[in-house]
Structure 1
Amino acid sequence: MATRLTIGEFSRMTHLSVKALRHYQDVGVLEPADINRFTGYRSYDASQVAQAQVIRRLRDLGMPLDSVRTVLASSDIEARNREIAAHLERMERQLEETQAAVASLRALLEGPARRPAVELRAIPAVTALAVSEVVDAADLMAWGAGAFGVLGDALAAAGLAAAGPFGALFPGDFFELERSEITVFLPVADGASAARVPAGRVCLRVIPAVEAAVAVHEGAADDIDRTYGALGTAVAERAIGVDGPIREYYLVSFADTDDERLHRTEVCWPVFLTGGA
C-alpha cells in the first residue's frame, strides 16, 4: 500500500520548500501523487522522496529546470548521463572563469600593473580572408572562435597560404555600446584571387594600413583590459590618438596551445605619427 505524505511532511523529508514544490509542479518537474479535487491539497508518495532528492542536488549544482526535466524524463541512462555531463562541463568552465576573475582582481589589488612596452609602428595594408558581422559583447568569444574556424577552413579550401597571424578589428562603438560590426581576418599571400574563395561568410578584402601604438598582452584575454588601459594611457599622454578601429593580432592563441598563460595578443591603437612622437 502506498504511503501518502502531506506537502509539509514531504518538504521536511526532502528539504525542499513548499514554495519550491509548488513551482516544480507548475513547470512539470515533480508532480504530486494526488491533488484533492475538493480542497486542492497536494499529497506525495514516499517513493517520490528519492526523485525529489535528485532534483535538489541537481538544482544545488545550478542545473536549469529544463535540463532537470530532461534528466528525470529520460529512460535512456546514456542520454541522462550526457545531459548531466554537459552541465558539469558548463560548471567547470564557469569555475575557470571565476578563478581567472579572482586572480585578475587580486593582481589589481596588489598595485598598478607593470606597463607593457609600447612600440610606435606603421602597419602596412594586407590582403586577407575576412568575416564581418554585428556581434554582441556577450557573444564575442564564442563568435570569434567560430569565425576563426571558418577562416581556417576557407584558407584550406582555397589552397592559399597564411601570411600572418589571425587578427580582428574592433570599432570604438563596440566598447561603448557592447555591440558593433567586428571583422576577423587572416592575411594571405599577395596575388590571392577572390575567385578562389568559397562562397559564404568569408570574403577577400584589403585590411588598410595604419599607424599604431602597439603593446603585447601576455596571458588570458580575461584581463586584456589592463593592457588596453596602459596602452590607451600612453597614447593619451602623447596626444597622438586618432579615430579608427583598434586591432588585435593573435600571435599565440588557442590555435597554438590551450595554456592561456602562453597566449600573446598584440593590441594596436591607431595614432598619428610625428617625428616628435
Structure 2
Amino acid sequence: MFKIGEFSKLSRIPIKTLRYYHQIGLLEPEQIDDFTGYRFYTAVQLIRLNRILALKDLGFKLEQIAQVLDDDLSAEQVRGMLRLREAEIEREIAAEQARLTRIQTRLQQFTQEAAMPTYDVVLKTVEPIHVASIRDVIGKYDQMGQLLGELFDVLAQNRVRPMGPPMAIYFDEGYQEVNVDIETAVPVANAQLQENGRVKLHHLPAFEVASVLYQGPYTHMSPAYQAIMEWISDNNYQIIGPNRDIYLRAPGLNVKPEEYVTEIQFPVAKR
C-alpha cells in the first residue's frame, strides 16, 4: 500500500484533493492507521480515481459522479446522462465548445472497447552521474522546459557538451498543481564547468530503480505512471527517493509530440 503522498505523486492528484474526496466519501483510503491517522491507498484504487477524473473533466458535479459510480447505473442510463449534458453544452456560450467535443468523444467511446497501452516495467541499477543542474520552484509543470532551456544556455555559453540526455527530478511529496519543486539536470564531464548562482555541479547517487519507457506527448503519461505504481505494489517495493523523467527524445526540430520518448524512473527498495 502507498502513503497518501506517494499515491498523490503517482496519480498526479494533489494531497488536499485526495483528502477532500475521502471527506465526502467519493474515494476512501483502503486503510487508516489507528495510531497515526495516516491514510493508505492501493494501486487498484487508481481505477476508481481515473473514473472520477474522467467524469469531472466532462463537467459532472461530484455528487453526480458519486451517483454514477455507486448506484450501479446501466450503460444506457450513463449514456442518457451524457446526452443530457451534451444538450446543456450546446446551449452554452462558444467558450464551452472544447468541453462539448470531449463529451461527444466520450459518447463514441461507449460503443468501442478501450485499449490501454502495455508498459514493461524493469528493475535496474543506475550508476552515479555527474550533472550540471538548476533547482527551482516553478509555477506549473509545463514551465519545466524554460528551466531546462536556461541550463542549456549556460552550457552553450561555456562550450560544455552534454554527456547524456537531460532529465527532470521531482522533489515534492505529492503532485502539485502550482509551486513545483523541480531540478533540471544534464550529465557533464567532471570539471568542465564552474558553478554560479543558479547552476550547480554534483553527483546523482547510484540507485536501484523501477523504470518504464513511454512514447508520446507529456500530457498523456498517466498510464505509464500507473504501470510503475502497480509494479511497485505487486512486487513489494517501496519508493525511497525523488522520481526522474529522462528525456531520451525531447521536443526539437521536426520532432512531433507523439515521437517523444521518456524514461520514467522511481528509486525503490524492498519493503
Which band: TM-score by shorter chain? Answer: 0.5 to 0.7
Structure 2 runs not aligned, ≥5 long: 1-92
Structure 1 runs not aligned, ≥5 long: 1-59, 63-93
| Aligned equivalent of 1:245 | 242
Listed as ranges, the matches of 1:67-216 within 5 Å are: 110-111=113-114, 113-136=116-139, 139-141=140-142, 143-175=143-175, 179-189=179-189, 191-195=190-194, 197=195, 199-216=196-213
Q: 1:219 to 1:238 in 2, by over 3 A?
A: same
* Identity rate, percent: 23
Instruction: Please list every run of at least 4 consecutive aligned residues from structure 1 whose deviation after the TM superposition is greater than 4 angstroms.
Output: none
| Aligned equivalent of 1:269 | 266
Deviation at 1:208, TM superposition (A): 2.1
- Ranked by relative contact order (alpha carbons within 8 Å, sequence separation 6 or more), the top structure is 2
Q: Aligned-residue CA RMSD in angstroms? A: 3.1
Mapped contact 1:118–1:215 kept (Cα < 8 A): yes
Alpha-carbon separation, structure 1, partners of 2:250 and 2:233: 29
TM-score (normalised: structure 1): 0.54
Alpha-carbon separation, structure 2, partners of 1:249 and 1:192: 23
Deviation at 1:119, TM superposition (A): 1.4
Alpha-carbon separation, structure 1, partners of 2:113 and 2:208: 34
Is 1:221 paired with 2:232? no
Corresponding residue to 1:255 among 252, 256, 259:
252
Q: 1:159 to 1:179 in 2, by over 3 A?
A: same
Mapped contact 2:138–2:181 kept (Cα < 8 A): yes
TM-score (normalised: structure 2): 0.56
Alpha-carbon separation, structure 2, partners of 1:175 and 1:224: 14
Q: 1:61 to 1:169 in 2, by over 3 A?
A: same
Mapped contact 2:131–2:186 kept (Cα < 8 A): yes
Count residues with an aligned counterpart: 172
Mapped contact 2:122–2:212 kept (Cα < 8 A): yes
Aligned amino acid, residue 192 of structure 1: A
Q: 1:194 to 1:153 in 2, by over 3 A?
A: same
